[in-house]
Structure 1
Amino acid sequence: MLKRKITRYLSWWKDNHGKECLLVNGARQVGKSYAISHFGQEAYDQFIAIDFVKNPELKSIFARSLDANEIYSRITLSIPRAHVIPGKTLLFLDELQECPEARSAFKYLAQDGRCDVIGSGSLLGVRFRSLNDAPSLPVGYERQITMGPLDFEEYLWGRGFDEQAISTLQGFLEREEAVPQAVNERMSQLLREHIAIGGMPAVVEAFLGGLDYGAAHDAQLMLHNLYLDDVAKYVPATDRVKARACYLSLPRQLAKENTKFQYSVVEKRAGARKFEGSVDWLVGAEMALSCRAVSTISFPLASYEDDSRFRLYANDTGLLMAMFDFSMKEAVVNDTLSGPMKGGIYENVAACMLSRAGVPLRYWTSRNGNYEIEFVVERAASPIPIEVKASRGSTASLNAALANDNVRIGYKCAGGANVGRDGKKITLPLYLLPFVFKHA
C-alpha cells in the first residue's frame, strides 16, 4: 500500500474539526477514495461509505428532507448493517459530483454531530456550473483540502526510503551543504524515474510491482484515455473538441522556447475568445495547472498578476509522458533527451512540486523578453525567484532578478547540480525543490 501524506491531515482533522465536514477535492484517480476508506476503517469503530457512481440508487437518501435524523434513518434502511455509533462513526460520501444534494446536507450533518463526515469527488470545480445543478453550499460547515498525485517525497516512500533517510537529505538543504556525489547521483536518477512514471497511484503501483516501465506506460495510457473520456462526458458540447485540443497541445506548448500558452499552437490564428473557456475547464478539472504571469517581482505578487498571460502544465508529469512514444521514457531516465522539450519537462515537474506544496504558480518575463524566471513565489512577505534548468548552465535571468533590492534570495534548480550558495543565489538539485517549501 502506498503511503500518502493526506493520512496525517485526516488524523489532525478527526481531532480538531468541530462542527465541520471535510471535502477532499482532487483530479480523477489520485487516490482520494482509497486513502479516505483506509483511514475510516483504521481510525473509527464504524465506517459507512456511499459511492454515488457505484450505487446511484443511493442518491435517493438525499432526494428529500435533509434533516439529519431522516438522512440517517434512510441510510440504515438502504444499506444493510449500516449502524451509527455516535462519536465513533465516519460517514464517507464519495463521488459527490454525482449528488449535489449530499453536499448541501453537510450543514445539517455537521450541526447534528453524531458522525464525522468526509465527502470526496472529482471535477467539483466544473461540475456545478449550471444553476440547475448547483448545490446550496454549506458555508461555515465545510473545510476543503485538495489531494494530488504522489509528490516526490511520497514517491520516495514507495521506493523504500524512510523518514530518517529523507530527513538526512533535507539536512543538506538546511545546512546549504553539498550532497555526497553518490547520493546526489542516485537521487537525480530517482527524480528522472519519477518524471517518467509520475505520481498517479495506479501507475506507480504498476511500476513498483517489478520496476516495469512497460506496465507503467500501459497504466498511463489507460488513465490518459480516461481523462479524455471525461472531457467528452463533462465538458459542455460546444467546448468538447476545443478542450481536448488544448489538453493535447501541452507537449507542443512546453517544447517552445517561450512556454507562454499560445492559442495559435492549438489552432492557427486562434485566440482567447475561442479557447479560454476550454482552458478554464481543464484547470477547474485539475487536469492542468495554470501559472500566471506577474509584471514585476515585488510583494505582494497577487497584485501584479497579468491575466492575459499564463503558462499551462500537466497536473501529472507521468500523464504528460503518455502523450509521447514509449521511447521518451528511455530518453528521460537515461538523461539523453536534449533541446527545448527537456527544459519544458523539467519545468512541468517543478510546477507539480510547487503545486503539491500548496504554492501558487506565477512566472515573470522582462518587458524586452530578454529575461524570464520560471516561477516566482513569496515567503515572509518577500518575493523569491526560482529559475529551473534541465542541466547546469548560466543564470542571467536569475542574476538580473537578484539585482533588485526587494529580492533577498533566489534559487537555481537544475538537473545534475548540487547544493551551493553564492551571495543571494542558492543552487539546488531539482529533487530538493519540494523540501524548500515543505513547512512554509
Structure 2
Amino acid sequence: MQECPEALNTLKYFKEKANEYHVVSAGSLLGTILAQPKSYPVGMVNLLDIFPLTFDEFLEATDPALYTYYDSIQKEQTIEEIFHSRLSEACNYYFIIGGMPECVSSWIKYKDPARISQIQRELIEIYENDFSKHNGKINSGRILLVFRSIVAQLAKPNEKFMYGAVREGGRARDFEEAIEWLVSAGMLNRVYNVSKMEHPLSAFDKLDQFKLFVFDTGLLKHMAGIDNSAILLKSSYPFKGALTENYILQQLQGQFEIAPRYYSDKNSEIDFVLQNGTDIIPVEVKAGEDKSAPSFKRYVAENHPAAALRFSKRGYRKDGDITNLPLYLVCKTRDLL
C-alpha cells in the first residue's frame, strides 16, 4: 500500500461514496510511512497492527488438542506433570520456530528445522533490503547497523542499549533516528527503564535508558546463531537469558494497556515492570529453574505488591508472595492475575 499514496487516499472515497464495500489493504513497515504521509484519510480508516503468532496461537495451529487443554487452564489450577512436560516441549519448539506465519506453516507441513532456518534467513534478508527501500531521509546504513547490533546489545550483562556498541564512538545523535525508525516499523520493541515503580509508570520513563528486543523470538534465535539442539537439549548457553526475555516481552505485548518497563539502578534490577490498572507488578524472568533473584525478592518483601510474578521452567505454583508461572503461560498472564 505504501508504494501508492493515491490508493491510500482513495480509501476515503470508499468510505464516503461506496460504504457498502469492505476494503482491506496491507503494507510492510507502515508505521514509518504513515508518520509523514502526504495525504491520509483521517477518521476514514481503522488501523490494525499485525504481529507474529504468540505462543498460544502457535499451539492452536500446531497441536489443537493440547491447545484445548491449555485454553482451559484457570487461576491456581494444578497442572499435571504430563501436560507440563508437553507444554514445555511445545514452548521450546516455539523458541526455535517463532511466530512468523510462513515458519509456522512450514513446521506444520514438514516438521523440518532446516526449512525453518532457511525461511528465517530469507525473512531477515528481505527486511534488511526493505530498510534501504523505505527509509526516506534516514541513513539506511545506520538502520542496518542498529538492527545488526541487537544480538550483541542483548548479550551484555545488563542488556541496556549502548550507542557505542553499534559503532565505536557512536552517540545518540548518530543513531536515535534509526532506532525510532525500527521501533515505528515494528521491527524492534523498546522497553524503557523507569526511575520509580509507581503508577502511572510512563511518568517515570528514563528516555535515555532502554533495551531493544526483536519483534519475533524465532528470528532473534536465528540472528544469534543459536543451534536448535541447545534449546531442545535444555543445555545452558550465554544468550539463553536474553532469548527468554525477548520471548516474555513478545507474549506480554498488548496484554496490558501500558507497555512493559524495567527497573534498574546501582543496587538492583527488576527484569520487567507491569501496570495492571493502578497495580504495579514486578516480574522476574528465569531461563531455567533457578530461583535466586535478590533484587526481586527484596522488592517484594519491602513493598508487598498486589502480585509478583516469576516466569521460569518450573511449574505453576505459589512461593509465598511470589507466583511462579511456567514460560508457556505468559500469554495468559493477565487472566491469571
User: Normalization by structure 2: what TM-score?
Assistant: 0.92
The one-letter code matched in structure 2 to 1:434 is C
* d(CA) in 2 for partners of 1:97, 1:401: 47
Contact 1:292 1:361 in 2 (8 A): no
* d(CA) in 2 for partners of 1:249, 1:155: 28
Contact 2:139 2:178 in 1 (8 A): yes
**Equivalent residue number for residue 56 of structure 2:** 153
Contact 2:197 2:263 in 1 (8 A): no
**Deviation digits for residues 108-145 of structure 1 (CA, Å, limit 9, x no counterpart):** 32233221232322211112455xxx243333332222
| Residues 1:287 and 1:244: Cα distance change in structure 2 (over 3 Å) | same
Contact 1:101 1:135 in 2 (8 A): no
* d(CA) in 2 for partners of 1:366, 1:261: 13
**Equivalent residue number for residue 306 of structure 1:** 206
Q: Choose the corresponding residue for 2:187, options 287, 306, 311.
A: 287
* d(CA) in 2 for partners of 1:405, 1:215: 49
1:201-280 to 2 correspondence within 5 Å? 201-236=101-136, 239-280=139-180
Q: Percent identity?
A: 29
The one-letter code matched in structure 2 to 1:164 is T
* d(CA) in 2 for partners of 1:97, 1:224: 20
Deviating 4+ runs (over 6 angstroms): none
* d(CA) in 1 for partners of 2:164, 2:33: 28
**Equivalent residue number for residue 71 of structure 2:** 167
Q: Choose the corresponding residue for 2:220, options 291, 308, 320.
A: 320
1:357-436 to 2 correspondence within 5 Å? 357=255, 360-368=258-266, 370-392=267-289, 393-405=291-303, 407-414=305-312, 416-436=313-333
Q: Which runs of 5+ in 1 are unaligned?
A: 1-95
| Post-superposition offset of 1:294 | 1.2
| Post-superposition offset of 1:405 | 4.0
The one-letter code matched in structure 2 to 1:331 is A
**Equivalent residue number for residue 101 of structure 1:** 6
1:331 aligns with 2:230: yes
* d(CA) in 1 for partners of 2:23, 2:304: 45
Q: What is the SS of the residue equivalent to 2:20?
A: coil
Contact 1:410 1:426 in 2 (8 A): yes
1:65-84 to 2 correspondence within 5 Å? none
| Residues 1:412 and 1:359: Cα distance change in structure 2 (over 3 Å) | farther
Contact 2:138 2:177 in 1 (8 A): no
**Deviation digits for residues 176-209 of structure 1 (CA, Å, limit 9, x no counterpart):** 1342222212211111110111111111122222
User: Normalization by structure 1: what TM-score?
Assistant: 0.71
* d(CA) in 1 for partners of 2:220, 2:180: 19
| Post-superposition offset of 1:307 | 0.9
1:343 aligns with 2:246: no
Q: CA RMSD in A?
A: 2.1
